[in-house]
Amino acid sequence: MSDTSVSRHIDTAATTGGRVIVLAGGLSHERDVSLRSGGRVVDALLDTGLEATLRDADAGLVGALAADPGATVFPVLHGASGEDGAIRAVLELLGVHYVGSRPGACRLAFDKAIAKSVVARAGLRTPEALPLASATFRDLGAPALLDALVDRLGLPLVVKPNSGGSALGTSVVRDRDELPAAMVGAYAYADVVLVEQFVTGTEVAVSVVDTGQGPIALPAVEIEADGGIYDYAARYTAGRTEFFAPARLEPEIAEVVAESAVIAHRALGLRDLSRTDMIVDAAGVPWFLEVNVSPGMTETSLTPQAVRAGGLDLGQVCWDLVHAAAGRPGD
Amino acid sequence: MPTPPGSRLDPHHDRYAERARTMTASEIRALFAVASRPEVVSLAGGMPYLRALPLDDIAHLVQRVVAEEGTQALQYGSGQGDLALREQICTVMSRVGIAAHPDEVVVTSGSQQALDLVTRIFVDPGDVVLAEAPSYVGALGTFRSYQAEVRHVAMDQDGLVPAALREALAALAAQGRTAKMLYTVPSFHNPAGVTATPERRAEVLEICREADLLILEDDPYGLLGFDGHPPRAIRADDPDGSTVVYLGSFSKTFAPGLRVGWALAPHAVRDKLVLASEATQLCPSAFTQHIVSAYLRTQPWEEQVKVYREVYRERRDALLDALGDLMPAGSSWTSPTGGFYVWLTLPEGIDAAQMLPLAIGERVAYVPGSAFYAGPTLPDEARRSLRLSYCYPEPDRIREGVRRLATVVERELDLRATFGERGPAAAAPTAAEATGPGPDTA
């Protein structure tokens, strides 16, 4: 460890009360991924000399935070309550310093349809999509509505829960007959399902980090899943997907992609850290798919790869984020 | 500019054995992470209710083992297992009608390891193993890891169906093939919750003798019959062990954390099992063997089995009552007379694997029926079935879990009615690999 990092460690320890609580787990469908992400963040912070502990978001959380007022919280919760702003609203209620976006911005980002409309207004392209509750299909009749969706969006199309990540409940539908099963599968994860036009191209993820100097895009990570579908197994089985970091994009396109992620980050009012998933089409145009306010940090996740590709150290980035959060006036 | 190399985040990606290629992350396994939270009523895991154990007495027992037998208990031991324990295991097996000699017993790290060792010495890649439909997920995982082809044989409320077994053998013969063994859990089946009748056991034994087919009888729950009369093991009527290799375990009658199980096999098989075991682990844990042996020697272990039986009987009743009161029309389920599990079949059209996230969202967990099939095809009834474990939650929690499950089923039925969907073909996991063996499915 360098002398600089030691001195910064002491500085942050004084500011944070010396403790970082990494919140992970929770009750969402992505609990398992979150626990792995959280463990990785704890390790990264410990490597920088900070005192960091992993904590579940459970019934004891509020009391524990109240008893530890100097701690800074690093939420690494994925899915509902972790990314929809609820936990962060509680952290603000308790006056706790925390890393990441504020509740209102999280709510916008967590609702994929709303996030798409916000970034579209900011000038980004995003595939046409419709968010629909199951009641809509029940009330209007599913067959006719599904036909209309196919007529409008074409095939293949993407069916996914309107909230949540890790590709849980997501499928690419290539045949009209597969659509009802895909809808039922997606509704198992969320009350609203997004039916989205399928865009062919290069799948990339761009992480954006802001440690006080404004949002900066890290190098895009290109995803090439075996079989072409970046589903749950492809995400979390090492070896099932080939990643290119930085992505194999022409420099001017890479620049546009990076700018797009920063535009999305700003348009949604995000803070500290985000990851924007996009498809770059054959003409080099990036299409916004979704943004994550608590990106995965597991061994196979995209943000740690982007950090490495940017010549940075994950521990140092986490340290910087904690430092920025701890020094921030009350949320 | 040269194209930068890609990364698969695994420098060993190209080195794995073929059998490791199917070992992948799965959504279903990930969902079980939530089941460990107290807010969730988990009817998924087959975890014995260890609060029923006299833990203080066991603590003293462990202390005595270290103080009085430490130099043996903490030392390497015999590859076959401790002789005193093997003698005691013969006493345990006498309760299911087996007259065995300690020389024929090989102590293993849980009966799961015995299953692995037996498969290792008998099954070559591509060999056929017959197993009940459905079958224990841990066994399916073992068979898959040895690249066996599993063919399922129908069972009903009386156990494995002899006619189906004959058909399976005939179908193989017609292809010029034979099966290497029949894997069966005749008593208080995991996951089906049914018990083979004495007549069925006799008939299955007869068929296998005629066909010269090895029976691998897995009997972890045999002493946990609610009427207190353990079913007679198939091995009891195969005194020389020429047809049956028998597996037993202390995981359900004492405690699974000790990982002590065994195989009972004739001498030639035993010798190979011991060699295979030594190649794997040198010897089973001497420490836990000493603990189990001291427990059997000094504690009223059969009284403890009775305590377990009463606990599980009360919970079985709670589950069956709740299912009767709350499940929608079109549902059916087995009524176990012992063991840990009820097999629930839901109304037509439902896919229990696809419904699991909805259930987790409602804070109730189960294991989808598809986990108990080797695939690649899945019968419709399996798709709409699931396993419920009643061994761990308290009766009132069991009822609450069924209430939540019933709500989920109603929602799923509504959803499927909306989409005219009678069961997905593409998305459903069809094999045990989606779940895999593990504490959640033991």
Closest C-alpha among A287, A280, A274 to residue A119 = A287
Predicted confidence (pLDDT) at residue B232 exceeds the cutoff of 90: yes
Q: Is the pLDDT of residue B301 over 70?
A: yes
The whole-angstrom distance between B359's CA and the closest CA on chain A is 8
Q: A319: part of which helix (H) or strand (E)?
A: helix A314-326
Question: What are A177's two structure tokens?
Answer: 């007959």
**Residue B343 and residue B155 in contact, taking contact as beta carbons nearer than 8 Å:** no
Name the token pair of A151.
């007529």
Cα distance between residue B12 and residue B15, in whole Å: 5
Q: What is the distance of C-alpha B137 from the center of its chain? A: 6
CB B183 within 8 A of CB B131: yes
Rounded CA separation B320/A15 (Å): 57
Q: Which CATH class is domain A108-125+199-310?
A: alpha beta
Q: Give the minimum alpha-carbon distance from B360 to chain A in angstroms, rounded to a whole number.
A: 7
Average pLDDT of the segment spanning B276-291: 97
* Domain spans in chain A, listed from the N-terminal domain onward: 3-100+317-326, 108-125+199-310, 129-197
Does residue A290 carry a catalytic annotation? yes
Residue with tokens 């989920």: B408
Q: Does A277 participate in catalysis according to the annotation?
A: yes
Prediction pTM value: 0.90
Number of residues assigned to chain B = 442
In the prediction, which pLDDT does B442 show?
55
Rounded CA separation B438/B442 (Å): 6
pLDDT for B436 equals: 45
Catalytic, out of A102, A296, A301, A315:
A296
Given the cut 0.90, state whether the ipTM is greater than it.
no
- pLDDT tens-digit series, residues A47-82: 999 999 999 999 999 999 988 888 999 999 998 878
* Chain B residues with a Cβ under 8 Å from any Cβ in chain A: 3-4, 6-10, 13, 16, 23-27, 29-34, 37, 39-40, 351, 354-358, 360-361, 363, 412, 414-416, 418-421, 423-427
B439 pLDDT more than 50: no
Whole-number pLDDT of residue B235: 98
- The superfamily (CATH) of domain A129-197 is ATP-grasp fold, A domain (3.30.1490.20)
Positive/negative CA dihedral, A191, A268, A129, A160: negative
Please state, in angstroms and rounded to a whole number, the distance separating the CA atoms of residues B419 and A138. 8
Look-up of token digits 């609990």 = A31
Q: What would the DSSP string read from start to end of B87-105?
A: HHHHHHHHTTT----GGGE
* Cα–Cα nearest to A76, from A311, A280, A318, A307: A318
Which is nearest to B135 in space by CA: B350, B343, B412?
Answer: B343
Comparing CA positions, the residue from B319, B332, B277, B331 lying closest to residue B116 is B277
Res B423 pLDDT > 70: no
pLDDT digits (tens, 9 = 90+) for B347-397: 998 999 999 999 999 999 999 999 999 977 888 889 999 999 999 999 999
CA atoms within 13 A of residue A271's CA, in its CB half-sphere? 21
User: Over B359-395, what HEC string results?
Assistant: HHHCCEECEEHHHHCCCCCCCHHHHCEEEEECCCCCH
- Partner-chain residue, chosen from B8, B351, B412, that has the shortest CB–CB distance to A242: B8
A3-100+317-326 carries CATH number 3.40.50.20: yes
Residues in chain A: 331
Q: Are A166 and A36 in contact (CB under 8 A)?
A: no
Q: What is the pLDDT of residue B427?
A: 40
Cβ neighbourhood burial of A33 (10 Å; 0-12, 13-18, 19+)? buried
Best mutation target among A147, A187, A226, A248 (most B Cβ atoms within 10 Å) is: A187
Can you state the percent helix, strand and coil of chain B, rounding each to 5? 45, 15, 40
| pLDDT tens digits for range A79-109 | 887 889 999 999 999 999 999 999 999 999 9
Main-chain phi, psi angles of A295, to 5 degrees: -65, 155
In this predicted structure, the answer to whether residue A153 has a pLDDT above a threshold of 70 is yes
Cα distance between residue B436 and residue B29, in whole Å: 8
DSSP 8-state code for residue A169: T
Average pLDDT, chain B: 92
